[in-house]
């Protein structure tokens, strides 16, 4: 290879490396604020959780954006979307990722509350509980599938607050012929009319031979 070609190849490699070194840092830009606003304004906390989870699955978030999204989802899970262990993981991830972020004091405070909730609920599960009490405990721990399925299998009906959560999370839907009704025994209730178990709480259909 001639000296001229060697020089040309070295120049190409240098330009390529310089381009890699100067690549812009990850940043969603204005689209991030739009997604965050949509999540915060969603009246359904379980849908908002899904929005934030999809946001966090992206690879183009800046450190600040990922920290803010982790804090937002952790705060949501500590309260409206009922997943205290998930909240603990989000706050811990946020503090590890951005220990100097302005939201750190808030995250530390909420983390302490979430950890206390988890400890209290897990201790309570060791006692004898009614199905309703057990459901509430499992729901707060983010074990929504298990809680919904056990209620459905019991044949009993959840209370009005539980019905609201189950509907919002997609476990109860408007009835259709042949579906498993929520109401089976006891006094009739208006909030259970035309509702059936759906989603992952629906009865498994028998395998066709």
Residue 27 lies in a domain: no
Residue 207 lies in a domain: no
Q: Indicate whether 10 pLDDT > 60.
A: no
Alpha-carbon span 188 to 149, nearest angstrom: 21
Q: Is the pTM of this model over 0.85?
A: no
Q: What is the mean pLDDT of residues 117-128?
A: 97
Banded pLDDT at 6 (limits 50, 70, 90) = very low
Alpha-carbon span 48 to 74, nearest angstrom: 12
137-155 tens-digit pLDDT:
999 999 999 999 999 999 8
Q: What is the mean pLDDT of residues 197-205?
A: 84
- 136 and 120 inside one domain: no
Question: Which of 82, 100, 124 is the endpoint of a domain?
Answer: 124
* Least confident residue range of 76-80, 171-175, 200-204: 200-204
Alpha-carbon span 198 to 182, nearest angstrom: 10
Residue 173 lies in a domain: yes
Quote the tokens at residue 109.
């405070």
What confidence score (pLDDT) does residue 199 get? 87
């Amino acid at each position: 290879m001639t000296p001229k070609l060697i020089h040309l190849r070295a120049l190409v490699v240098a330009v390529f490396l310089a381009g890699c070194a100067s690549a812009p840092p990850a940043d969603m830009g204005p689209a991030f604020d739009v997604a965050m606003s949509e999540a915060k304004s969603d009246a359904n906390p379980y849908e908002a959780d899904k929005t934030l989870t999809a946001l966090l699955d992206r690879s183009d978030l800046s450190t600040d954006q990922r920290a803010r999204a982790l804090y937002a989802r952790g705060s949501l899970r500590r309260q409206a979307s009922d997943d205290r262990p998930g909240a603990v993981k989000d706050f811990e991830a946020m503090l590890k990722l951005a220990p100097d972020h302005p939201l750190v004091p808030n995250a530390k405070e909420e983390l302490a509350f979430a950890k206390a909730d988890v400890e209290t609920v897990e201790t309570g599960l060791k006692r004898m509980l009614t199905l309703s009490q057990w459901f509430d405990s499992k729901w707060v721990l983010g074990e929504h599938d298990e809680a919904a399925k056990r209620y459905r299998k019991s044949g009993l009906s959840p209370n009005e607050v539980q019905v609201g959560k189950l509907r919002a999370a997609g476990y109860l839907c408007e009835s259709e012929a042949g579906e498993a009704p929520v109401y089976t025994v006891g006094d009739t209730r208006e909030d259970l009319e035309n509702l059936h178990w759906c989603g992952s709480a629906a009865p498994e259909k028998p395998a066709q031979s």
